[in-house]
Amino acid sequence: MSTSDSYIPTPTELVEVIDETPTIKTLVLAPAEPMSFKAGQFIQLTLPGVGEGPFTPSSSPSHPERISITILRTGTVTERLHECRPGQVLGLRGPFGKGYPIDKLAGKEVLVVGGGVGLAPLRALILTLLDDLDPIKRMSIRYGARGMEELLFRREYDQWASHAKVDMQVTIDNPQPGWQGPTGVVTTLLKDLDMTLPECTAFVCGPGIMLQFTTQALEAEGLTAEQIYLSMNRRMSCGMGLCGRCNIGKYYLCKDGPDMNYALIKDAPNVF
Do 5 and 82 touch, CB atoms closer than 8 A? no
**CB neighbours of 228 closer than 8 A, spacing ≥ 6?**
202, 204, 215, 218, 219, 261, 262, 263
Q: Which domains occur in the chain, in start order? A: 10-95 (2.40.30.10), 102-231 (3.40.50.80)
Indicate the pTM of the whole model: 0.93
Do 129 and 72 touch, CB atoms closer than 8 A? no
Residue 117 CA to residue 48 CA, distance in Å, equals 25
pLDDT for residue 245: 75
pLDDT for residue 5: 63
Residue 172 CA to residue 260 CA, distance in Å, equals 27
> Which H or E run contains 81?
helix 76-82
pLDDT for residue 237: 65
From first to last of the 272 residues of the chain, give the pLDDT tens digit: 433 467 788 999 999 999 999 999 999 999 999 999 999 999 999 999 999 999 999 999 999 999 999 999 998 999 999 999 999 999 999 999 999 999 999 999 999 999 999 999 999 999 999 999 999 999 999 999 999 999 999 999 999 999 999 999 999 999 999 999 999 999 999 998 889 999 999 999 999 999 999 999 999 999 999 999 999 876 666 667 677 677 888 888 888 888 999 999 999 887 87
End-to-end CA distance of the chain: 33
Pick from 156, 159, 154: nearest CA to 144? 154
141 bridge partner residues: 112, 168
Cα radius of gyration rounded to whole Å, the chain: 18
Do 129 and 139 touch, CB atoms closer than 8 A? yes
**CB neighbours of 91 closer than 8 A, spacing ≥ 6?**
9, 10, 11, 12, 45, 46, 47, 48, 52
SS (H, E, C) 46-78: EECCCEEEEECCCCCCCCCCCEEEEEECCCHHH
